[in-house]
Structure 1
Amino acid sequence: MLAKVFPIPLKPGSQGRAEELVRDFAPKGPAQEDGTLSFRVYRDPARPDYLLFVEHFADQAAYDAHTGSEVYAKLIAGEFAAMVEDFVEIDHELVVSH
């Protein structure tokens, strides 16, 4: 399993629209992808204009299919990316799960 974490500071004032986009994306992208095991986006109530993405994929090929999809290109790589201040991708490997 491949785990991806993305702490994403957003441009000022874009929190609402960014949340709308990820809500729109989830059922059209990750929910339709066999290799996407989970797709979760969190907000920090104490920090405006910030989202935390935590995603789990079956393997690298599943992640590549996820980021190569048409809906990803339109909503995430397109409109959402324009709201991002800084982008950091952190890969994790599962050690233990309960």
Structure 2
Amino acid sequence: MLSKVFPIKLKDGMQARAEEIVREFAPIGPGAEEGTLSFRVYRDPAKPDYLLFVEHFADQAAYDAHTGSPAYQELIAGQFAGTILEVVEIDHELLVAI
């Protein structure tokens, strides 16, 4: 399994727009992808203009299919990218799960 974590600092005042895009993307992107095991986006009520993506994929091929999908290209690489000030991509390996 491939785990990805993305802490994302949004441009000032872009929280609502970014959340709108993510809500639109979730069911037609990761929600429709066989190799996407989970797709979770968190906001921090104490930290405006910030989102945390936590995603799990079956393997690298599933992640590549996810990022290559038309929904991802239009909504995330396209519209959502315009809301971002800074993003960090962190790969993780699962150690323990219950």
What TM bracket, shorter-length normalisation?
over 0.9
Give a deviation string over 1:15-49, Cα, whole Å, max 9, x none: 00100000000000001000000000000000000
* Aligned residue number for residue 39 of structure 2: 39
Instruction: Report what 1:83 is aligned to.
Output: 83
Cα deviation, residue 87, structure 1: 1.4
Instruction: Give the structure-2-normalised TM-score.
Output: 0.99
Percent identical residues = 73
Match in the other structure for 2:3: 3
Q: Residue 48 of structure 1 aligns to a residue in which SS?
A: coil
TM-score normalised by the chain length of structure 1? 0.99
Q: Indicate the residue corresponding to 1:63 in structure 2.
A: 63
Q: Secondary structure at the match of 2:40?
A: strand
Three-state SS of the structure 1 residue aligned to 2:54 is strand
Counterpart in the other structure of 1:21 = 21
Q: Secondary structure at the match of 1:97?
A: coil
Give structure 1 stretches of 5+ with no counterpart. none
- How far apart, CA to CA, are the structure 1 residues paired with 2:76 and 2:14? 14
SS in 2 for 1:16: helix
Take 2:52 and 2:38, find their aligned partners in 1: how far apart are those partners? 14
Runs of 4+ in 1 over 3 A off after TM superposition: none
SS at match of 2:34: coil
Residues 41-77 of structure 1 deviation map (CA, whole Å, 9 limit, x = unaligned): 0000000000000000000000000000001000000
SS in 1 for 2:48: strand
- Where structure 2 has 5 or more consecutive residues not aligned to the other structure, the ranges are none
Letter in 1 for 2:59: D
The alignment's C-alpha RMSD in Å is: 0.4
